[in-house]
Structure 1
Amino acid sequence: MTTPSRARSFNGAAARYADHRPSYPPALLDALEELCGRPLAGARVADVGAGTGIATALLHARGARVTGVEPGAGMAAEFRRRNPGVPVVRGDGNRLPFATGSLDLLTYAQSWHWTDPAQAVPEVLRVLRPGGALAVWSNDPDTSVAWIADQEARIEERFGPGWYINERTRPRPGLDFTTRLLRWSRRVSVDTHLAKLSTHSLFLIGRPGTEAFLAEERVRLTGLFPDGWVDERYAVELNVAVRGPDGGRPTRPGA
């Protein structure tokens, strides 16, 4: 459930978030360029809900003229510390701080679910130029992997369904997306994996039992991975819609 307290919870853990949350594979940016129908280099981009700048930094490295948009003071401060050459402004997807028709691309990396689509969709249409694109993606644990599926099941059993707020949990009315699914992995220590888990909002809002759960997971994972290393596997769902030349709603690329 995307409550205000969950949205604000990241500000007190911004450095930990930046240190331990996963980035995204290069194939994601390749697919983004393909579906948008243009290179990122030189594109006017806003990365909305930028957090500490994980996705923003990748867009910047590809040559995009990107600005981060972040509502949280703590997250924005960490963004500035880690990305001193990239601009960031305070704001959110419901009230975008950009002129009408000024952007080639809007990106929401792990952040569309924090918007109100009734407000965010008109803002998308307002700030994108004709032919501009909206890209929404999520970096989800790949539950086709047995140990990840088992961990997800344990979390839901302990804390209930919906603990992992992601792009699939919220509708996107009126937007016609083309979707790509990309799988990738990173090899990290058990400590890093648990630290990453602790940066999800469920664990940041002080729900009873979260610290005990993480301690139990440490014991369990140390037994499963006695060398202390795990392969975190992810499924990135990329959704892209291109704004029509007549100012209509974003449509499927090539439609």
Structure 2
Amino acid sequence: MTHQTPAHERALAFGRAARAYAAHRPAYPAPVLDALERLSGLPLAGALVADVGTGTGLAARALRERGARVIGVEPGAGMAAQFRRELPHVPLVRGDGNRLPLADGSMDLVCYAQSWHWTDPARAVPSALRVLRPGGALALLWNDPDPSVEWVARQQERIVERFGDGCYISDRTLPPGPSWRTAELRWSRRVSVDFHLAKLATHSAFIVHDGAGAAEFLEAEREHLLRRFPDGALDEPYTGFVAVAPNPGAPG
């Protein structure tokens, strides 16, 4: 099995694929944002939201389109540069999700979208709660391939065999302490096999192993998929997972 790259190195590696990430990773569909509002009890319209580990701004864009006032927080130079190209009018600060560069009690919502699994929860939870106002909420969002779909499960097995565990479908373990409210939603998008493979190449395992081994794996994966989907198109299935913890400093 391939040697595992340390988590922090894997997290920062996304900058090397920032343009492809922006082009091929899925957006956050409306039902995910509906669940975020329902679980938090906060309307997004007018809310001041920190999108932590914002990357290229996929969640920031969706939140802004719902009327939120978004501030992106991103540690990586490559992803931050792509964010500024994608969302030039949205404020962005360079910072670490474990130690937020934001004022105490300043945010209605602190959101980690597809980024919580790169944090140290023992540091990230207190940091997030510090910057929340009373009545605010900490939110964790994931958009992951749906392993209940047979072909996705088989693909996951091949990825784990080649690159190791924890490099494709995220660890959604919630930290103890906060009182979590959760929702899981299933959705899909229709894409070509080549588009799916380009999306696959934006996952950390393929970025940090970007030599011949990754290219060979993707070519073999194309053959697997074309046998399954001979017309060259597939429904790419996802689970959207939302976990919300109201600020324990909130009144009542």
Same fold (TM over 0.5): yes
Residue 244 of structure 2 aligns with an amino acid whose one-letter code is: V
Matched, 1:14 2:4: no
Q: 1:175: which partner in 2?
A: 178
Matched, 1:98 2:98: no
Task: Note the C-alpha offset of 1:157.
Answer: 2.1
Task: Note the C-alpha offset of 1:162.
Answer: 2.0
- Identity among equivalent pairs (%): 61
Computed over aligned residues only, the root mean square deviation of the Cα atoms, in angstroms, reads 1.7
Say which SS state the counterpart of residue 152 (structure 1) adopts.
Answer: helix
Task: Note the C-alpha offset of 1:155.
Answer: 1.3
Say which SS state the counterpart of residue 182 (structure 1) adopts.
Answer: strand
5+ long unaligned stretches in structure 1 = 248-254
Matched, 1:230 2:230: no
Give CA-to-partner distance per residue, 1:147-173, whole Å, 9 cap, x none. 1111111111222322226242x5513
Matched, 1:192 2:195: yes
Give CA-to-partner distance per residue, 1:2-49, whole Å, 9 cap, x none. 522211211111000100011111011111111111210110110000
Residue 153 of structure 1 aligns with an amino acid whose one-letter code is: E
Give CA-to-partner distance per residue, 1:188-213, whole Å, 9 cap, x none. 11111001100011100126722211
Identify which of 84, 87, 111 aligns with 2:88: 84
Q: Counterparts in 2 of 1:4-83, with a 5 A limit?
A: 4-83=8-87
Task: Note the C-alpha offset of 1:140.
Answer: 1.4
Q: 2:152: which partner in 1?
A: 148
Indicate if the aligned counterparts of 1:113 and 1:165 stay in contact, CA closer than 8 A: no
Indicate if the aligned counterparts of 1:137 and 1:167 stay in contact, CA closer than 8 A: no
CA distance in 2: counterparts of 1:4 and 1:92, whole angstroms: 11
Say which SS state the counterpart of residue 95 (structure 2) adopts.
Answer: coil
Indicate if the aligned counterparts of 2:22 and 2:56 stay in contact, CA closer than 8 A: yes
CA distance in 1: counterparts of 2:9 and 2:35, whole angstroms: 34
Indicate if the aligned counterparts of 1:194 and 1:218 stay in contact, CA closer than 8 A: yes
Say which SS state the counterpart of residue 129 (structure 1) adopts.
Answer: strand
Give CA-to-partner distance per residue, 1:48-70, whole Å, 9 cap, x none. 00000000001011110110101
Say which SS state the counterpart of residue 235 (structure 2) adopts.
Answer: strand
Identify which of 208, 225, 248 aligns with 1:244: 248
Residue 173 of structure 1 aligns with an amino acid whose one-letter code is: P
Indicate if the aligned counterparts of 1:111 and 1:167 stay in contact, CA closer than 8 A: no
Give CA-to-partner distance per residue, 1:55-106, whole Å, 9 cap, x none. 0001011110110101011101100101112111100211111110010000
Give CA-to-partner distance per residue, 1:87-141, whole Å, 9 cap, x none. 1110021111111001000001100111111211111121001110011011111
CA distance in 2: counterparts of 1:246 and 1:59, whole angstroms: 23
5+ long unaligned stretches in structure 2 = none
* Greater Cα shift, 64-73 or 204-213: 204-213
Report the CA distance shift for 1:206/1:192 in structure 2 as closer, same or farther (over 3 A): same
Residue 20 of structure 1 aligns with an amino acid whose one-letter code is: H
Say which SS state the counterpart of residue 22 (structure 1) adopts.
Answer: coil
TM-score (norm 2): 0.93
